[in-house]
Structure 1
Amino acid sequence: MTLSNTTRMTTETELIFSPERTSNNSFHVFSSKKASRRSTTLNKPPKPVSCRVFRYFTPATASRASNAVSVSTDSYGVALESPFYTKSDTSTYWDQCFEHLECLGRGSFAEVYKVRHKEDNQLYAIKRSLTKFRGKSDRDQKLKEVRFHETLATHRNILKIIRAWEERERLYIQTELCESNLLEYSSENPMTQSMTWHFLYQISQALDFLHSLYCVHMDVKPENILITYNGILKLCDFGIVHDLRSASTLAQDGDARYLAFEVLSGTISTAADVFSLGMAALELVSDYDMPVTGDLWTNIRELSLPTEIVSALTDIELKQLLLRMIHSDYKIRPSAKDILDSPTIRDQICHMPSPFAFNQHRHEHGIPSTGGNDSPASHGCRTPIKKPKRPPNYCGYHDEHSDGRTPPPVVGDPLRVRLFPTESDEEMNVDHIYFRKSPLQFKFDSSGTED
C-alpha cells in the first residue's frame, strides 16, 4: 500500500516526537496522583546501534594505580589504609572494608548501596559509578562535583559527604545514610500545609547558602531531598550545579516537571531554584502529579493551576507565596532569603520541631523508639525503617555494570531534558532526551509501542 505525502509526513512526525505512543493511537493522559510515577515505567526508545572505537594509544588513566586513592580535598592522592584492606588482594577496598546490605537505587550512571563500615560498625550510603572514567576530562568533571559537594556539606540541610575515593578508574562517594526521600515519604504520610511550610523553611536555608556562593542547583525536586531520622531535610545531588560566575559553564539538564520556563531560553538565575522549590511544594501539598509536557505544563507556568491544587491551598499566605515562587517573570519571584523572612516562617515555623521526624511517627503509632537523641536540633542519620519503594535518585556516571552487563531500566526514573547540547554529547548517556525548545511539542505515554 502506498502512503500519501501527508500520511507519510504525519507518520514520520509521530515517530520523531512521540517515541512512546500506545498501540491504539492514544497519548498518555496525566494522572492527578503521584502514584502513577511510582508504578509506571516510561519506556524509552531503543538506543541507536553504534560500534566501539578502539584507540591505538594508552589513555592517561591506564597508568594510574589500581589501589584505592582518596580524592577528598583534605587527603587528595593519599592511599587509603584500613586493618581490613589488603592491597595485594584481588578484591577492592569497597569489597574488603564494607558490608553491602542492600542496593538503595540505580540510575543511569551509578548505583547507591546501604553499607556498614567494618571499622566503626556504622551505616552509610555509598554511590558507586558503574563504569570506568572515559578519559581525563570525564574524571576531572566528576572530581569537581566531589569538591563542590565538600564545600557545601557543612550546612545542616545539605547531605554530608564522608569521603570519596577512586579505585580501578571508578569513583566512590561515601555519605551519611538517611531514612527516605521526600517523594517516598509523602506517599505514606499526607503532607499538610504546616508541613509544607517546614519544607520551604528547611530547603530555603540550603538554597540560600548555595545561592550565596553564586551557584544554582538546577534540580530541586522531592527525589533530591532526603530525610534524616530526626526530621532534618537534606538537599542532595549536585551533579549539574550551575556556576553563575563562570561564563563558560552551561546549564546541563533538569527535571521537566519542575523546570522554569525561562531556563529553556538560556536565562539561568537563582530564581530557577525558587521556581522548582515552589513546584515541588505544590506537588507535595496537593498530591498532584506535575506534567512533563503539554498544555497543562504551560498553563501551570501561566498561573492557571488545576482545581486539585487550588483546593488544597486554604492557607492564604502559603498560596500567595507559592504563586509568587512560580511566577512566569523570574524577576518577581522571591529569593530564598525572602522566603525565610516570611512572617509565618519567621514567627512560627522556625521555633517548632520538625514534623518529618521518624521518631515522632513511632511515638504517634505507639512504637517504642530504638534509642538515640530525639532532639530536633540533632540531625544524625539512622537505619531506614523499611526498604523504600522508590529510592532517592542519586545521580551517577554511566549506564553499564563493572562486569559489562547493562543494568535494568530504572522504574519511575524522572524525565530529564538536555537544555544545551555540547560537543561532548556523544559521550553522554543516550537515554537522555535532547532538545532546545519547550517540551510542549513532545507527547509521551507509558507503553513505548509503535503502531
Structure 2
Amino acid sequence: MNEEEAAADNPREDEHIEEHVTAPAAVNGTSVKRDKHSQSVFEKYNLFGTVFQLPPRYVDLQPVGMGAFGLVVSAKNTVTGMQVAIKKILKPCSTAVLAKRTYRELKLLKYIRHDNIISLSDLYISQTEDIYFVTELLGTDLHRLLVSRPLDKQFIQYFLYQMLRGLKYLHSAGVLHRDLKPSNILINENCDLKICDFGLARVTESQMTGYVSTRYYRAPEIMLTWQKYDAQVDIWSVGCIFAEMLEGKPLFPGRDHVHQFSIITELLGTPPDDVIETICSENTLKFVQSLPKRPKIPFTERFPTVEPDALDILEKMLVFDPKQRITAAQALSHPYLAMYHDPSDEPISELPFDWSFGELDLPVTEWKKRIWEEGTAYEDFD
C-alpha cells in the first residue's frame, strides 16, 4: 500500500505527534544547519503517513500536494508570521541518482533569484537525514485555476508574460526546466506567478534522457531525438500551456507517447525533412515514416475565436524545429505582450549556473557529503 492509499484508509494520520527530537550536531562528520531560533529541538508531525521533522517555529502544517520527488505542505513561520511551503524530499539519498537529483535541485534553488521563479528561503536537514526545502507559499497553481473557471484575456496575457520573463532569466543562466506544466506554475492572490519544481532541471545542450516532462507538454524533439535538446523544449511547453489557457483544456492530451506525437502532427502536419533527419533511433524513424502525410492545419481554423496576435505568438512557439522556435526573450517583445513588456525590467542572470558537477558519477556517500556541505553553506548564504 502506498502513502496515499494509507492516508485514505486512515484519515486520522494527519494529527500532530507531540514529540521532540534533538537536532544532530553532525552528519557523517559534517555539521548541518540548526534552527536559528531554537538550537536543539525539532518537532515531529505525521501528515497522511509522511513524517515531517521540523523546528518548532513552523506550525499549522497542511498538505498542499506532491511535487516531483517530494511532498509539499504549507505552514506558518511563527518568527516571521509568514505562510511558507515546505517540501520534504522523499528518500533523498536512497540511490546515487536520487542523491544527485537532490543536490542539483538544492544548488539551483540557492542560485536562482528572480521574481517569477520560486527560490529557497530556508533549508533543514533532520536527525533522520531527511531534507526540507522552505519557500514562500503562493495560494494556488495554474492547473487549479484552469479547472475552476475560464481565464479572462488580461489574465492569460499576464500569466504568459510572467512565465516568459522567468524563462528568459532561467535560460540565460544555462538552465532549462524540462517539466513545465500548469501545476508547476504557482500563482498568488495578486496574480503574481512563479515557476517551481526544479527536480528535473538540467544544463542546456547536453546529452539527456528522453522521458522527462509530463506528456501533454513534452516537446516533439524529446520524443524524436531523445538524447540532445536545448532550452527550446521549455518554449514548446509554454506554448501548450498558453493554448490550454486559451481553450480551457489540454491541447495535446496524448494517451501515450505514440498517440501524443500523432495528435501533434494532426495540427502541425508531417515534420519537415530536416527534423526527421535528426532522429537517431531506427524504430522511432520507422514510426514517423509510417504516419500518413498530413498538412498543417491553419491556426485560424483550429482556434477561430482567438485574436490574431495571440495566434501569432502561439504559432511561433509550437514549431517542430526547435531552432525555428521563438525564444523567451523574443516572445517578450511580441505585440501580444506589449502591455507588459519592459526591456529594463526583464533581467538575465549575471553568470551562468555552475554545472560542473553534472558529469560526475559519484557514490551515494559522496553526494550526501556534498548535500550536507551545501546545507551548511546555506547559513552564510542566508
TM-score surpassing 0.5?
yes
Q: Distance in 1 between matches of 2:268 and 2:246?
A: 18
Q: Distance in 2 between matches of 1:89 and 1:155?
A: 32
Aligned: 1:214 with 2:174? yes
Match of 1:67 among 23, 26, 41: 23
Q: Distance in 2 between matches of 1:242 and 1:299?
A: 30
Residue type of the partner of 1:292?
G
Q: Distance in 1 between matches of 2:115 and 2:100?
A: 27
Residue type of the partner of 2:80?
D
Gaps of 5+ in 1: 1-64, 352-421, 425-451
Residue 285 of structure 1 is matched in structure 2 by 246
Q: 1:172 to 1:251 in 2, by over 3 A?
A: farther
Match of 1:238 among 190, 195, 198: 198
Q: 1:177 to 1:343 in 2, by over 3 A?
A: same
Residue 336 of structure 1 is matched in structure 2 by 328
Residue 262 of structure 1 is matched in structure 2 by 221
Q: Contact 2:68–2:197 at 8 Å: present in 1 too?
A: no
Q: Distance in 1 between matches of 2:177 and 2:81?
A: 33
Instruction: Compute the displacement of 1:179 (Å).
Output: 1.0
Aligned: 1:300 with 2:270? no
Q: Contact 2:42–2:56 at 8 Å: present in 1 too?
A: no
Q: Cα deviations across residues 28-68 of structure 1 (Å, max 9, x unaligned)?
A: xxxxxxxxxxxxxxxxxxxxxxxxxxxxxxxxxxxxx9836
Q: Cα deviations across residues 278-316 of structure 1 (Å, max 9, x unaligned)?
A: 111001110123312424244235354899951341x11
Alignment map for 1:6-21 (pairs within 5 Å): none
Residue 273 of structure 2 is matched in structure 1 by none
Q: Distance in 2 between matches of 1:238 and 1:332?
A: 26
Q: Distance in 1 between matches of 2:25 and 2:170?
A: 29
Match of 1:157 among 106, 116, 134: 116
Q: Contact 1:240–1:252 at 8 Å: present in 2 too?
A: no
Instruction: Compute the displacement of 1:241 (Å).
Output: 1.0
Q: Distance in 1 between matches of 2:244 and 2:145?
A: 13
Aligned: 1:223 with 2:183? yes
Q: Contact 2:181–2:241 at 8 Å: present in 1 too?
A: yes
Percent of matched pairs sharing the same residue: 23
Q: Distance in 2 between matches of 1:226 and 1:93?
A: 25
SS across alignment from 2:241: helix
Q: Distance in 2 between matches of 1:88 and 1:185?
A: 35
Residue type of the partner of 2:241?
A
Gaps of 5+ in 2: 1-20, 46-51, 270-295, 343-360, 364-382
Q: Contact 1:182–1:226 at 8 Å: present in 2 too?
A: yes
Instruction: Compute the displacement of 1:102 (Å).
Output: 1.1
After TM superposition, the score normalised by the length of structure 2 is 0.65
Q: Distance in 1 between matches of 2:192 and 2:83?
A: 18
Q: Distance in 2 between matches of 1:180 and 1:89?
A: 27
Residue type of the partner of 1:343?
P
Instruction: Compute the displacement of 1:220 (Å).
Output: 1.4
Instruction: Compute the displacement of 1:107 (Å).
Output: 4.9
Q: Distance in 2 between matches of 1:233 and 1:88?
A: 32
Larger helix proportion of the pair: 2
RMSD: 3.4
Residue 349 of structure 1 is matched in structure 2 by 340
Residue 311 of structure 1 is matched in structure 2 by 304
Instruction: Compute the displacement of 1:322 (Å).
Output: 0.3
Q: 1:279 to 1:147 in 2, by over 3 A?
A: same
Q: Distance in 2 between matches of 1:236 and 1:219?
A: 10
Match of 2:318 among 317, 326, 330: 326
Q: Contact 2:156–2:246 at 8 Å: present in 1 too?
A: yes
Q: 1:93 to 1:206 in 2, by over 3 A?
A: same
Q: Contact 1:97–1:119 at 8 Å: present in 2 too?
A: yes
Q: 1:237 to 1:192 in 2, by over 3 A?
A: same
Residue 113 of structure 1 is matched in structure 2 by 73
Instruction: Compute the displacement of 1:163 (Å).
Output: 1.4
SS across alignment from 1:254: coil
Q: 1:305 to 1:227 in 2, by over 3 A?
A: farther
After TM superposition, the score normalised by the length of structure 1 is 0.56
Match of 2:34 among 58, 75, 80: 80
Residue type of the partner of 2:317?
M
Instruction: Compute the displacement of 1:270 (Å).
Output: 1.6
Q: 1:77 to 1:212 in 2, by over 3 A?
A: farther
Q: Contact 1:240–1:251 at 8 Å: present in 2 too?
A: no
Aligned: 1:274 with 2:235? yes
Instruction: Compute the displacement of 1:138 (Å).
Output: 3.4
Larger strand proportion of the pair: 2
Q: Cα deviations across residues 110-133 of structure 1 (Å, max 9, x unaligned)?
A: 211110123223210100123362
Q: Cα deviations across residues 255-284 of structure 1 (Å, max 9, x unaligned)?
A: 110111111212411211111101110011
Q: 1:312 to 1:140 in 2, by over 3 A?
A: same
Q: Distance in 1 between matches of 2:158 and 2:171?
A: 20
SS across alignment from 1:253: coil
Q: Contact 1:286–1:309 at 8 Å: present in 2 too?
A: no
